[in-house]
Amino acid sequence: MKRIGVLTSGGDAPGMNAAVRAVVRKAIYHGLEVYGVYQGYHGLMTGNIQKLELGSVGDIIHRGGTVLRSARCPEFVTKEGQKQGIEQLKAHGIEGLVVIGGDGSYRGAKALTELGYPCVGVPGTIDNDIPGTEFTIGFDTALNTVIDAVDKIRDTASSHERTFVVEVMGRDAGDLALWAGLSGGAETILIPEDPYDMESVKERLMKGHERGKKHSIIIVAEGVMSGTEFAKKIEENTDFDTRVSVLGHMQRGGSPTAADRVLASRLGARAVELLIEGKGGRAVGIEHNKLVDYDIIEALAMPHKLDLDMYRLSKELSI
Ligand code: F6P
């Protein structure tokens, strides 16, 4: 393998730049040429591809977002779109591709693999919902952003003796809500993986109130329902003065934490090693702090597992 490509796709995540840097530097270190595909699969189909040098990825390790930019590209789910992408790669002499992204990006990489083109998936999403890895790039940064917001909300919630519903991202996965809830000391955490019961939410709020608590924080993953909808339910069922805070896309921005930079550097470099070893169709990940890789098709078939012990613990500690 003499020339590889790298793209970022789907929702951006802090640390994607550190992963791009690792791919480029590791490849050049081993004598390969690297091409950046801009705007994800959209840029792949339209040939928005440029050569990257060592200096192209200088001064980006600490930046949020992605210098390669990202896009959601519905056209890429079609066979024609995928074949067009492969033609572009071949026209540029690119023999293997590193795809950094979440679930949809992995499905694109899987489709290319099934068409015989070597791809390696690197998990980058704040949702932490990619199978075959315990952590995804961007999750730790997003979690710290949420915690920073929750700590601030707690101050004002306490002053005014209010209940706050904080809506966090996570359409299908509750990881961000769960980790933020546990580390932010939330009274209640609502996640898509576990149907909530209004009576027990109410009971927890009442219990806290009876023992003199001055405020309550409820974290709702957007996949359950909107924060506004849930606050309405609280007000219908209780007398608590309730406010809502929707954190939104700020969760996707910001300078990556050290943990995300290290994770991104390790995973990006490992993806290049796999391509050099001639192993396409893999998905890299981290398990027990060791790098792992799986067949990308098998990885996508594995269910994402939320840490249920942690979920139970959050309930025990917030009585
Ligand atoms: O990056 C993943 C994610 O943040 C989801 O949690 C969220 O639902 C979605 O992306 C929103 O992304 P966009 O607004 O870019 O479509």
pLDDT in tens, 56-107: 999 999 999 999 999 989 999 999 999 999 999 999 999 999 999 999 999 9
Residue percentage of the chain with pLDDT more than 90: 95
What is the value of pTM for the model shown? 0.97
Whether residue 216 has its Cβ less than 6 Å from ligand 1: no
Give the position, in ligand 1's atom list, of the atom nearest the Cα of 176.
6
Beta strand pairing status for 96-101 and 3-8? parallel
The boundaries of the domain holding residue 163 are 140-252
Whether residue 127 has its Cβ less than 6 Å from ligand 1: yes
Assess whether 128 and 26 both reside in one domain.
yes
Give the position, in ligand 1's atom list, of the atom nearest the Cα of 170.
6
Assess whether 206 and 73 both reside in one domain.
no
Whether residue 221 has its Cβ less than 6 Å from ligand 1: no
Confidence of residue 6 (pLDDT cuts 50, 70, 90): very high
Q: To 10 degrees, what angle do helices 258-276 and 16-29 make?
A: 40
Sorted by sequence, the CB contacts under 8 Å of residue 189 that are 6+ apart come out as: 174, 177, 178, 181, 182, 218, 219, 311, 314
| CA 278 – ligand 1 centroid, Å | 33
**Which range (164-168, 199-203, 256-260, 302-306) has the least confidence?**
302-306
Whether residue 126 has its Cβ less than 6 Å from ligand 1: yes
| CA 10 – ligand 1 centroid, Å | 8
Nearest to 271, CA basis, from 22, 15, 10, 67: 22
The pLDDT assigned to 54 comes to: 97
Rounded Cα distance, 308 and 305, in Å: 8
Assess whether 11 and 129 both reside in one domain.
yes
Assess whether 99 and 149 both reside in one domain.
no
Assess whether 23 and 113 both reside in one domain.
yes
Assess whether 131 and 268 both reside in one domain.
yes
The pLDDT assigned to 292 comes to: 98
* Most ligand 1 atoms within 8 A of CB, residue of 106, 146, 251, 252 to mutate: 252
Whether residue 163 has its Cβ less than 6 Å from ligand 1: no
* Most ligand 1 atoms within 8 A of CB, residue of 103, 105, 127 to mutate: 127
CATH number of 242's domain: 3.40.50.460
CATH number of 274's domain: 3.40.50.450
Assess whether 216 and 261 both reside in one domain.
no
Report pLDDT digits (tens) over 164-210: 999 999 999 999 999 999 999 999 999 999 999 999 999 999 998 89
| Residue 38 DSSP symbol | T
Establish if 46 belongs to a structural domain. yes
Assess whether 101 and 194 both reside in one domain.
no
Tell me the average pLDDT of the chain. Answer: 96
The pLDDT assigned to 305 comes to: 85
Residues with a catalytic annotation lie at 127
Whether residue 105 has its Cβ less than 6 Å from ligand 1: no
* 145-153 average pLDDT score: 98
The pLDDT assigned to 214 comes to: 85
Instruction: Please give the tally of structural domains in the chain.
Output: 2
Establish if 193 belongs to a structural domain. yes
Sorted by sequence, the CB contacts under 8 Å of residue 70 that are 6+ apart come out as: 8, 9, 10, 11, 12, 16, 39, 40, 101
* 277-292 average pLDDT score: 97
Confidence of residue 125 (pLDDT cuts 50, 70, 90): very high
* 103-124 average pLDDT score: 96
**Residue whose CA is at the smallest distance from ligand 1 atom 6:** 170
Biggest CA-to-CA distance, the chain: 70
Assess whether 155 and 238 both reside in one domain.
yes
**Residue whose CA is at the smallest distance from ligand 1 atom 11:** 11
Assess whether 234 and 101 both reside in one domain.
no
Assess whether 122 and 177 both reside in one domain.
no
Establish if 314 belongs to a structural domain. no
* 159-166 average pLDDT score: 96
The pLDDT assigned to 301 comes to: 92
Establish if 54 belongs to a structural domain. yes
**Residue whose CA is at the smallest distance from ligand 1 atom 12:** 11
Assess whether 107 and 214 both reside in one domain.
no
Rounded Cα distance, 141 and 258, in Å: 9
